[in-house]
Amino acid sequence: MWARTLARRIRSKVPPVAAPGRRKLLIVHLDGVPKALLDEAMVGGQLPFFSRLIRSGEFLLDDAFWGSPTSTPYFQAGLLYGLRHSNLPAYSWFDRELGRELRMNVPADALEIERRLRGTGRDSLLDGGGHGYFTLFRAGAENALSMSTLGSLKLMAQGFSYEMMGLAAGRTRSVWSFLRSLGVDAWQSAREMMRWARALGNWSHESAFLVSRIFFQRLGWSFAHTKALVDMARGVPVIYLVYGNYDETAHRRGPRSTLARSELHRVDASLAELHAMARSVEQPYDVVILSDHGHVDSVPLEQRQGARLKSVLLEGPSVPLSDDVMRGLCDGRARPERDVRPREPFTPVVVECGNFAHVYLSGEREALEARELLARYPEVLARATRNPDLGLVAMKRGRSAVVVVQGGVYGLEDLERAPLSAEFSRRAVRDFLRGLPSMQTAGDLVLFGEVVPRGGTVGFAWEFGSHGGLTRTEANSLVCWPANAPVDLSGLSHCVDLHDRLAEAYLEPARRLRWAP
């Protein structure tokens, strides 16, 4: 009754969307939520509505593996565009073509990557009138609420009135009630920031976290949630709604912290409202709920060793390179002579991407191969492969890729013999090695933090929850869909599989899938 009343009010204020009479789709993206934590939250009573959906049999829930790296840009390129090899190595990286670092939370950088993705010739799930909220890429959406559109003031100005359409009619509580709740949240967040910073003795990122918590997690999510309700009442064909509150909190407080878990309880109430509206409109929506990756506890390297990763690799004490590593990287080839030829100056770049990092030692257009690294940067290789806090060191070898684990070198053909910690996912490591040779934006070295007690890893950025790495928790994603939907989303082994199944079921006429690298 609540949803039908709200839908009638919205339709009386805003016009419907002129869309074909095809089946409607709402995708709710729970950013960073691992399947195991979701299961715990259901058992612990933190997700009462979501639990009822699953236990009633109305919705089906399954594990999913989306590929490596376990990061949002890679996932969204696969989901929206169907790209298996999107050349997006992390959330931030050094772009060899542009000669500078790119970060996906910088609108101009996201817009640059958006242009590249559109240039592959692939159709998007949001083409043809879809809407997206808090996505990195606009991906052909009719609205302009994505990171990439923030890079163009012209696009934002043109879309402002459209974004505001129906907002007043779709609100679910009074302005006074909302402002009072926002004030309480702001006060509690400020107290939490002070408590955390004093206990840790470090104020790094705390001011940014406070701003994010008030403006992005509270104001931003309220806006996006309300607009999704409006969109369903209007009949927008495909809606992609990203819930980033858990991910943001997990980075700063840890994935199993009280603050992070409370965000799961908060989103549960939102899911109840979205589901009610999806069932109540004239053309019901199928609601697909998914996560893009998991989150693992992270202990900053700077806390453990008193130095950032760049200093550890480039300025640390000299150590000899293991003979086993030397032989493994040469792979039967002659050991290279030391290469000291003069080259164009380049300052090495170390991009800390959470619990993994890309290390760029040369300014060349492609990553150096293992034998070139041995000839030109043996000291860096030695420091990386002998550091106890670096669990995996990956690089190109010939036309393939290898990983150094505990002083041994392993490729795809012998990865099963690698002495990987049980916390690492062999499936994720294998997928990463398979894609690394074609990933031109990857570093000459790609480093992954070692496992620490209680299932966490060493992190390179100053954060306490990380993702993008190759642990089982990070690779453990989820997908949930209606049992009566015209699509089966079980057994998915890559985000491209998800794109293809959704496109076939919900896009009419069926999209012509074109080849893309």
Q: What is the mean pLDDT of residues 455-462?
A: 91
Residue 184 pLDDT: 74
Report which of 337, 303, 73, 280 is spatially closest to residue 201, judged by C-alpha positions: 303
Higher-scoring residue by pLDDT: 197, 249: 249
Name the token pair of 365: 């257009």
Higher-scoring residue by pLDDT: 455, 514: 455
Higher-scoring residue by pLDDT: 190, 50: 50
Residue 516 pLDDT: 39
Residue 185 pLDDT: 76
Higher-scoring residue by pLDDT: 479, 171: 479
pLDDT level of residue 20 (50, 70, 90 thresholds): low
For the chain, helix (H) and strand (E) counts, in that order, are: 20, 19
State pLDDT tens for residues 343-391.
888 999 999 999 999 999 998 999 999 999 999 999 999 999 999 999 9
Q: Residue 395 above 80 pLDDT?
A: yes
pLDDT level of residue 201 (50, 70, 90 thresholds): confident
Q: Residue 467 above 80 pLDDT?
A: yes
The SS3 call for residue 141 is coil
Q: What is the mean pLDDT of residues 12-36?
A: 89
The answer to whether 324 and 408 are in contact (CB under 8 A) is yes
Residue 515 pLDDT: 40
Residue 151 pLDDT: 66
Q: Which CATH number, 3.40.720.10, 3.40.1160.10, 3.40.50.1100, 3.90.550.10, labels domain 25-294+476-506? A: 3.40.720.10
Q: What's at 99, amino acid-wise?
A: G
Give 155's Cβ-side CA count (13 Å radius): 17
* Range(s) of the chain covered by CATH 3.40.720.10: 25-294+476-506
Q: Which segment, 100-104, 177-181, 341-345, is predicted with the most confidence on average?
A: 100-104
CA–CA separation, 175 and 336 (whole Å): 70
Q: What is the mean pLDDT of residues 264-293?
A: 95
Report which of 9, 23, 36 is spatially closest to residue 507, judged by C-alpha positions: 23
Mean pLDDT of the chain: 90
Q: Residue 88 above 90 pLDDT?
A: yes
Q: Residue 206 above 80 pLDDT?
A: no
Residue 513 pLDDT: 43
Percent of the chain with pLDDT over 70: 95
Dihedral angle of Cα 230, 231, 235, 240, to the nearest 10 degrees: -150
Percent of the chain with pLDDT over 90: 71
The SS3 call for residue 26 is strand
Residue 517 pLDDT: 37
pTM: 0.91
Residue 380 pLDDT: 96
State pLDDT tens for residues 324-349.
999 999 999 999 999 888 888 899 99
Name the token pair of 294: 């998991």
Residue 514 pLDDT: 44
The answer to whether 255 and 34 are in contact (CB under 8 A) is yes
Mean pLDDT check: name the lowest of 128-142, 144-158, 244-258, 463-477.
Answer: 144-158
The answer to whether 217 and 267 are in contact (CB under 8 A) is no
Give 7's Cβ-side CA count (13 Å radius): 22
Residue 510 pLDDT: 47
Question: b or e along 248-259 (b: 16 or more beta carbons within 10 Å of the residue's beta carbon)?
Answer: bbbbbbbbbbeb
Give 339's Cβ-side CA count (13 Å radius): 11
State pLDDT tens for residues 416-447.
999 999 999 999 999 999 999 999 999 999 99
